[in-house]
Structure formats: C-alpha cells, structure tokens
Structure 1
Amino acid sequence: MNDAVATPGKLAQLKAFIRTWRGHLQYLQQLFREDRNTAWPFWRATYLQRDELEIAINSLHERSLSDSFEWLEIPRVLSHFVLRPDDQGQADWYAEAHRQYHALLKKLELEGARFKPAMLDPLINELRYISTADAFHQKYRLTELQTRMKAMYEALLQRIDEFNAMHKSEIQAKQAEAELEKIRAQETLVNAENEKLAQQNRLVQEQRLKVVEEKKRLEAKRAADEAEQQRIDKQREYDAEAAQRRRQEELQASFRDLSWQSGGAPTPASAPTPAPEPVLATVDQKVDALMQQLRTQDSLSDAEIEAAGKLYEMLKAKFG
C-alpha cells in the first residue's frame, strides 16, 4: 500500500530530474555549437546557475526599460555569474561608459573648464562598442537599451559635428576679422605713406616756391644793381665830361690870359708900361699853372693838344 502511494511521487521526481537534465544536456549541446574547445569546462562551471541567471536577465530587462536605468547595473548584476570572457568584456563596456560619463560631467563642472569635443572621445568610444554588440544584447535581452545607446551615440556624433561646424565658422569668422584687421592696418599704413608723400610733395613745392622767389629776388637785385651801376657809370661819365669841360675852359682861359699878358692884346696909351719883371713873373705863374694842369691829365683832348702846341710855340718865340 505504501509502495503504491510512493510510486507516483517518485515518478514525478524522476520526471522532473529528467527534464532538468534534458535542459542541462541541451545547454551543453548549445555550448558545443558555440565553441567545442571550451564547451565542457564552461558547462561544468555554469550549468547550475542557469535558472538564477535567467531570473537576473529578466530583471535586468525590466529595469533597463526605464529612463532612470543605471548603466553600471549590467556589470554589477552579471558579475555574480560565470560568463564567457567576451560577454564579461562587453558587460564591462557599460561600466567603463558609466565611468567616462561621470568623468565628463566632473570636467564640465570644474570652474573655468571649457567644452572641447576631445572630452567626449572616451565616452564615444565605449558607446560605439556597445552599439555594435548585437549578439550580447540579444543574448541578455537588452536590445531596447542598446537602441537607446545607439541613439545617444549618434546624437553625440551629430552634436560634435554641429559644434565643429560652429567652431569652424567661428574660426573662419575670426580669420576673416583678422584678415580685415590686416587690410585695415595695411590701409592705415598706405594712408600714412600717402600722407607722408603728400607732406613731402608740399615741402618740395614750398622749397621750389622759395627757390623761385629767391631767384626772382636775386634777379631783381641784380637788375637793380646793374641799373645802379649804370647810373653810377653814367654819373661818372657825366662828371668826367663836366670835369673835362671845366679843365678845357680853365686851360683856354689860362691860355687867353697868358696870351694877353705876353703882348697878344693892345695896351691903352694912357696906361703906363708895366715893368718887365712883374710881367715875367705873371707869365711864369701862368705857365706853371698851365703845365700843372697838363701834368694832371691822363689824356688830352684835341683842343688841349692844340692849346699846348700854341703855348709851346709862344714860349719858344719869346724865350728862344
């Protein structure tokens, strides 16, 4: 009676045991299909954790659908199980992405820190790895999370492109402004050079005007000097001619006096005959005076030469 009652329970246990091991064997077959070399040791290390791992995967899947899901939960949950090295490495990508994300926030929070696209490079690298790990996310039911990670990765790339384009525009604007400033500086320099040349031209023109005015002044002075010299020469010539006429008149007067005193003019009857000595003295004086006048002459005119000749003849006849 007891054996009959116990038999159905044992059969149920046996069926459960068989189902369990059938699952273990199917899992082993799956591992052999994946990698024959590591299938057996990995199966021995993991076949007893399959149920708990499945529960953990389902829990991760549910939590990963939330926007507040922390990336660090994936490596934290899966670290309690034995995973293939590739799976463990890809789970660690989430840990590294979490670390790079918070490191970026810390950099941006620093006082005076300025955003640079290079700051995002470590995080973008991890997101790129995660975005391409399709098999891992399918295996651990994290495809929805992977989709969001891909969107974040692409959005960051787009923002970087926009930032670079804006930065490039700013650089181009600064370059254009610098070029404009250079042109302005060159224009200022050219204007300064032009002003300098204009000033030099003005100085040259002023100097030329001074030269012309000085030339005119000198020419006027020379003309005035020449006119004055001509006046002086004419005055000298006039004075010389006047002096010459006076000398001629004096010489002729002296000659007439001499001729009259030497007997050339009649003496009135009632007048007494003058003594010879005074007459000779008067004649000598006249002759000396006349000779003195002749000696002072540089050159004699024709009338003076004629008068001198007459005087010579008269003296020769008188004193023999």
Structure 2
Amino acid sequence: MTVDRAPGVGDRLFAILQYLLPKHLLSRLVYALARCERTLVKNTLLRLFLHSYRLDLNEAVQSDPFAYRSFNDFFTRALRPEARPIDDSPQSIVSPVDGTVSQYGRLDNERLLQAKGREYSLLELLGGDRRLLETYRDGSFACIYLAPYNYHRIHMPCEGTLRGNLYIPGDLFSVNAATTRAVPRLFARNERLICNFETSFGSMALILVGALFVGSIETVHAGEINPVPRLRKAPQPLQDGLGRTFGKGEELGRFNMGSTVFVLFQRGRVTWDRTLVSQSMMRLGRPIGRCTQA
C-alpha cells in the first residue's frame, strides 16, 4: 500500500467513480451476499476469493474454507492462538491487527497526515467531539490498513477499560491506497466507531473505520453496528460494555470485509518502535511501541 506519493490519473478516476456510485446501497448488497448460506453462492464467492489471494489457511481454527456457513464467516475466521503470539512485555504496545502501516507518528497539534500533500483534522476524525480532541491533541497515532487477504479481527494493543463508544455516520469510500491518495479527508468522511479506553498510562482510542462494501463493524461488547445511514445523521454514543476491562491481545471486534484501524494515545505516553515505518507489514501481537508513563 503506497500512499506517500501524489495521486495519479488512475487514482483520480477511481475516486470520481466512487463519488458517483451508490456506496451504501452496494455495501448493503454485499452484506447480504456475503452472508448467504446457499452452497452455490457461498462456494462461488470462496473460489473467486481464493483464486485472487494467497492465504495460509493452516493458521485458521477451521482450515477448510468450504466448511464455513457463509463467505463472511470465512472472511472473519478465527486463527489458532499460536498463530499470533502476543508480546507480553509489561510496557509494550502491540499491533491490534494484521495490516499495513499507512501513517504513524505524532499529531501536529490536531493535524494528521493522510497521504503526501493531504492532511485532515483530529476534530473531524473524532466527529466533532471536543472533549476527545483535548484528550488526544498533540498525541501519538498509528493508522493500519487491512487488505482483503489479512486477518480481519481487531484485538487490544494493551490492557484497557472501556469508557466510551461513539458511532459516527458517514460515507463508505474505499480505503485502499489509490483512494487514500485521491480523496481529501477520507478517514474523517467514512463512517466509524470510536472506542475510548482508560489504560495504566492514560487514555487510548481505537477507531474502526468503515469502507466500501464494509456495511458492518462488529464488536464483542456492542454486537453488530450496521445502521441505516439515512436514519442516523449525528454521532451516536453507545452504552454497551462500558466499564469492561480488556486484556492485551483480547479480541475487541471485527470488520465484515476489510478496512482501517487507528490507534490514538495521549501526548508523551507512547514511543513508537524504531522498526515501525510507513508501508511496513504488521502482524497482530507484534510490538509497535512502548508506554513511557505508568
């Protein structure tokens, strides 16, 4: 996933096409198709997917792709615990997902880098919530993109107690490299769920960003979040799971199809690992940083 270059003609044409497409309608259609349990439909989708991507199915709890009830069950398949060991160093921050690091670093006041020449504001990303803005202003962030071939469950980068959920309605642009280069404020435009945690070294937020064909974000504490877009215009706080403590590496949720995850920390609380670089491939459980305040 290369985002650190200016958008080309192909990127712009792909973005224009998405502006014209009925993205929510298409995502709802894919939602239904991916959950179809008819053998012919399910197996056709599986064959097309397996032909397009190389997967190590030996990592999965169920290694036979055709044993799953639906394509979505296969897509969000569980892995064997030993396939993704979680670093247990007390101060380590681990990657919450398998994916590619899109951007990472320190916020410039409240500005985030999306791609070369494209910035957007933290306030926009947080749905206008000024309390969260003041919490994370000048903080640290990492943005990790999940491609279709990645493992699609999201886990905790460190231990934390859930203090808030905020669903923010929005668009459903693709979040691949071409769209990231071409569409301004992409992550602040798409629908997303913000899960805010209290940790031993301050606040941490995990932001699950929806995307084209990702008509559903699901968490273990709030279930499936799949609203009808026209009925929800303003950010919606969700009370499910508040006060629940999650351990490092514990599953938080999953994308029903692929997307992007942000991790936010308060100012001065995290030092990123020296091996962490933009466009590097991450695996769940691998250290990506260390907390610097206890």
TM-score (norm 1): 0.17
Higher relative contact order, structure no. (Cα contacts within 8 Å, ≥ 6 residues apart): 2
More helix per residue: 1
More strand per residue: 2
- Structure number, greater radius of gyration: 1
